[in-house]
Amino acid sequence: MTYKNLFNFAREAEAILIMNGGENSLDKTFRYITQSKGGLFEGSFIVANLNNATIYTSVLEEETARNTGLDVKIFHSRKEYEEMMKESLMNINTVGLNYSSLSLENYKNLLRIIPDKEFVDVSVSISESRKIKDATEIKYLKEAARIASESIEKVYDSLKAGMTEKEVAAIVVYEMMRNGADGPSFSTIAAFGENSSQPHYSPGERKLKKGDVVLIDYGALYNGYCSDVTRTACFGKASEEISEVYSIVYRAQQEAMKIIKQDVNGKDVDLRARNIIDSTKYKDTFIHSLGHGIGLDVHDHPALSPNLDFPLKENMAITDEPGIYLPGKFGVRIEDDVIVKKDGFELISGGASKEIREL
């Protein structure tokens, strides 16, 4: 990734200012520009233009910042921070800001520090730039997907009657980090039995017992990039209904995947999966979009939705995750990560089994 790609879209800005606040208001675009493999960079900022990008940070992050290869300037106080910001934008009239990640507090500070500038929102431009992944980003995404895919087998091997959902979620994270993840890319979902019908369930104290559906939605973080995978299995012998639902969801996922390629409308990919599920007695049980973009954020951008015209482009990274949810009984979701190609796709997660796993 080169920061210059941002200006393919943000042509209205002479320079782009990316500001980090505290730990809860960090802009992922900071990582996107710097490709830093570490550091929080709280209270730091970047000024980028077509010719240069400079990191302004404290001594705390100096070594990490210099490892990026970008220009680095160090401040030692809030006063120096403000002086550097004024100086860096001295000859700039129009400053691009990522409004979607800028806190109100930081915006008010900007109005005080550099009140003479014209600010323009370049958040859409940044989002457009981040949708298309370069070779380095794809490498990181593939590794994140590999780690997630390979970790699930050890998790399955560890399952025992009486384990809680929280215990299983912890094992998932442990196995991913053992396999090289920097951490989970989001809070792991481990849902047993009737809890698996809730797509965004939070693991609790529910104990595993024979015949339970085991739904695990998880992802690995690798060099800042996310994977997002869901596997559904059965602890013991699967009932006829569980096997039937799994088979339908698997077919919906595979048939949708077949039409993924450049210039296909994401809405049509969603429709392919939705029509398969709705042609069965489980009509209207697929209650979310088929997929989303992945990248620095686990939900990096929209992608496959029934209500959105979204042309797929080569080197977008997206998920394909149909599901059937039967409240009070169980749910089945199968999710894999793919890279869009000119004439098809590349599956980067391991791929689900055709028939439900019986553990």
Copy the structure tokens of residue 135.
């070779």
Q: What are the phi and psi torsion angles at 247 (to 5°)?
A: -60, -40
Mean local confidence (pLDDT), 140-149 = 98
> What is the Cα–Cα distance from 17 to 99, expressed in whole angstroms?
11
Mean local confidence (pLDDT), 212-220 = 98
Digit-coded pLDDT (tens) for 4-20: 778 776 667 899 999 99
* Counts for the chain of helices (H) and strands (E), in that order: 9, 20
What's domain 135-358's architecture?
A: Alpha-Beta Complex (3.90)
Digit-coded pLDDT (tens) for 95-133: 999 999 999 999 999 999 999 999 999 998 899 999 999
**3-class DSSP state for residue 101?**
helix
Question: Which of 18-32, 223-237, 300-314 comes out lowest in average pLDDT?
Answer: 18-32
pLDDT greater than 80 at residue 91:
yes
Sign of CA dihedral 141, 142, 143, 145: positive
Domain ranges for the chain:
3-131, 135-358
Mean local confidence (pLDDT), 135-159 = 97
Q: What is the DSSP string of 265-317?
A: BHHHHHHHHHHHHHTSTTTT---S-SEEB-SSSTT-SEEE-TT---B--TT-E
Residue 318 · residue 294 · CB < 8 Å: yes
Q: Is 355 exposed, middle or buried (0-12, 13-18, 19+ CB in 10 A)?
A: exposed
Mean local confidence (pLDDT), 198-222 = 98
Which residues have a Cβ under 8 Å from the Cβ of 157 and sit 6 or more positions away?
none
Q: Residue 77: its pLDDT value, please?
A: 96
pLDDT greater than 60 at residue 1:
no
Question: Per-residue confidence at 60, pLDDT binned at 50, 70, 90?
Answer: very high
Torsion of CA 227, 351, 170, 25, to 10 degrees: 10
Digit-coded pLDDT (tens) for 329-342: 999 999 999 999 99
Question: Per-residue confidence at 182, pLDDT binned at 50, 70, 90?
Answer: very high
> What is the Cα–Cα distance from 12 to 125, expressed in whole angstroms?
10
Question: Per-residue confidence at 315, pLDDT binned at 50, 70, 90?
Answer: very high
Task: Supply the CATH classification number for the domain 3-131.
Answer: 3.40.350.10
Length of the chain: 359
Question: Per-residue confidence at 327, pLDDT binned at 50, 70, 90?
Answer: very high
